[in-house]
Structures are given as C-alpha cells and as structure tokens.
Amino acid sequence: MSDWKIPLYGPSTGAAEARAVAEVLRANWLSVGRVTQDFEERYAAALDVEDAIAVSSGTAALHLAVLALGIGPGDEVVLPSLSFVSAAAVVALCGATPVFAEVSGAHDLCVDPADVAARITSRTRAVVAVHYGGHTADLPALTELARRHGLALIEDAAHAPVTKTAHGVLGTVGDIGCYSFFATKNLAMGEGGAVVARDPAVRARIRRLRSHALTVGAEQRHRGGPSAYDVDGFGLNYRPTEIACALGRVQLEALAERRILRQEAVRAYRTLLSGLPGLEVPFAERPVEEGAHHLFPLVLPDGLDREDLQAQLRAAGVQSGVHYPPTHLFTAYRERFGTRPGSLPVTESVAARQLSLPLHAGTGLQDVAHVAEAVSRTWPPQR
C-alpha cells in the first residue's frame, strides 16, 4: 500500500476475500442481488435487528437517514464538529442547517450532551451521535434528550460495526444507525455502508430511496420478474455492488477475531505511553474490551508542535493522522452558515492537539513498541 514501515491503516484482506470476489464474477451479476441480500441478513443478525440495508457508502447511509426523516429547509440538526465532514454535508445538501456542538473534552472526544441540549431550538429536528473512533457516545443522556424534545436520534456508527455495549449495540439504540465500510474501516468493503432503523416504515422508505424509489429492481427484472415498474418517490442510486457485499461477508466473519488484535494493540499503547507527561489518551479510563477501536487518538500537551512530532514519526517510518479538522472551520460552512473560529473553544483546542497513531488488525506488539519509542524519543518535559 505504501512505503510506510508502520501505516496508519491496513485493511485485512487475503485469500478468502479473493475467493469471494471470484465467486461473484463467476455468477455474472455485479449490482444488488443475492449476495447483497445475504450480507444484509447476516449483518442484521449480528446486530440483532430485523433488517439492515446495504448502501454504497457511509455518507449514503447518513444522507438516506436525513431524507427518510423528511429533514429539509428551515430545519436544524445538532451534531459534533469534531467528526468527518459527511454528516454535516448531508444535512446541508438537504437544505437544513447543521448546528455544531462541543465534544466533552480531551478525555472523551464524543459529543457533549449538555452542549447539545443548549443548542436545541424550536427548529431542531434531529441529533447526530458520532461514536468517535469506535467509542460510544453518551447514549443514555442523548436518548433522554431526544425523547424529551421529540427529536430523532441518528447514530453515526461509521467507526463501530457490531459493537456491543452496556447500552445496546451501537447504531441500534437511536432511531436510525449508519455504518461505513470504507477501505480503512474495521469492516472494509472498499466502498460501502449500511443503515438500520427502528421504525419499519422508515426502513421501507430508505430501501426505496436507495434505488431511485423503483417499485421493481433491476435484479428482479433480470431474473424474470415484472418488466414494468413505477417510481413512487424521488430517490438516488445508493446501491452497493455484489463484489463489495461479498467482501463484507468475509470481513464480518473475521470481525470479532480482528477486534481482539486491535484491543491487544490498544492495551500495549496505553501501557507504553502512560508515563509521558502532559499526554492525554482519550477514552483511557474505559475498559479496553469496550469499543471498536477504529482509531487510537492522542491529545498532545499545549506547547508541543504537532507537525514536529509527525516529522519525527515519519523519520521512523510511522504514519500518523489528524481526526479531525473541525467541520465548522471549513470554508464552505463559514461562508454558508456563518460559523467562526472561537465558537467551539473545547473542540478547537482539542482538534489543534489531536494526533492518531497506527491502529489496525495488523498492528502487532512490536509495531506498537516501535511507534511508542518514536513518540517518546524526544518527548518534551511537561510545560
């Protein structure tokens, strides 16, 4: 994939994935079909829900969620700024206004329920709970908040496929759950995603919207079904491919085993980095067995130059990343919605000091030791 000695991401693919793709090619049907349906059934069973709808990406999942809820011009959706831009983008594309909320702090990079509550108005229609890095947001508080105000709760579980917690399986607690199976994700299909919803009517709406709101799909027609069809709404092409879903079936089978490998790496990171003065490891107070561990984030101390540290890591062959630049500071959001620097001081402070270290199923304990040594080598005294 790259010349990195230790890459930030490393999707696990091998002979089983190759065989799965070859089987699809031999079957000679590449769009939504029987493999997609089988993957949907297996994923729903893993989540312990009635149905899961496979889609072309995590962004498609979020867009379909907002569309299915009828959110549009004049509406507001409260969501964290410290996240990938996709959730805010689909809200804006539907004509609604993304209202950005703070994260809890350097110890917890998920959205702060108290700040969400302060930003709810008469125009608010939904709240998005992002399970940052595969760690659960405060679902009890957010669920109660949504219920009290009559709002929809959308779980952005892009980082947390089949993640069981004391509060329920992530993505299945709120009204709609959205998953991403992008190439870097824990369950990697190259491109792909899934949507689940508590309300059967919402699920049916999402399934129709996924494929242009056609009453008869192409695969049904191909296999001898009705040739005529109607269009009972305004939908999109957010269908996955059979190849992606074939990959998804194999990845789903291996997900639990690969999660254990991630947990072992996280446990080692926490131990090796615990003595560095001023360094904060978000979610470190949570048991390592909890969460999906899609990312291993750090929050650096004030005064430490992040770019200098990244240069040191590069020299050691270690790739690092930043998750994420705050969405409210991007040009498009400043120009359209009037967001501005200084409006989310907690988020902005944390984001300026955030750094992600390599973490994937192939990150072995020797890799962790190498990365931790590279971080520690020139660590400054506490400032």
- Residues classed as catalytic: 185
Chain-centre distance of CA 65, in angstroms?
14
Tokens of 41: 């059934």
| Pick from 242, 192, 191, 177: nearest CA to 46 | 177
List of residues 6+ apart from 207 with CB closer than 8 A? 53
Judging by beta carbons within 10 Å of its beta carbon (0-12, 13-18, 19+), is residue 285 exposed, middle or buried?
Answer: exposed
Chain-centre distance of CA 322, in angstroms?
15
**Which parts of 231-380 fold into alpha helices (H)?**
242-273, 306-315, 331-337, 345-353, 365-376
What is the amino acid identity at position 313? L
CB atoms within 10 A of CB 246: 24
Q: Output the DSSP codes for 19-48.
A: HHHHHHHHHT--SSSHHHHHHHHHHHHHHT
Distance between terminal CA atoms of the chain? 38
Measured between alpha carbons, how far is residue 362 from residues 14, 101, 147, 209, 284 in Å?
12, 34, 41, 37, 21
Q: Output the DSSP codes for 216-231.
A: S-HHHHHTT--S---B
Tokens of 324: 């994420």
* CA 168/CA 184 separation, integer angstroms: 25
Q: What are all long-range contacts of 167-173, with beta carbons under 8 Å and residues at least 24 apart?
A: 167/136, 167/139, 167/140, 168/139, 169/47, 169/48, 169/49, 170/131, 170/136, 170/292, 171/47, 171/196, 172/47, 172/48, 172/49, 172/196, 172/198, 173/139, 173/143
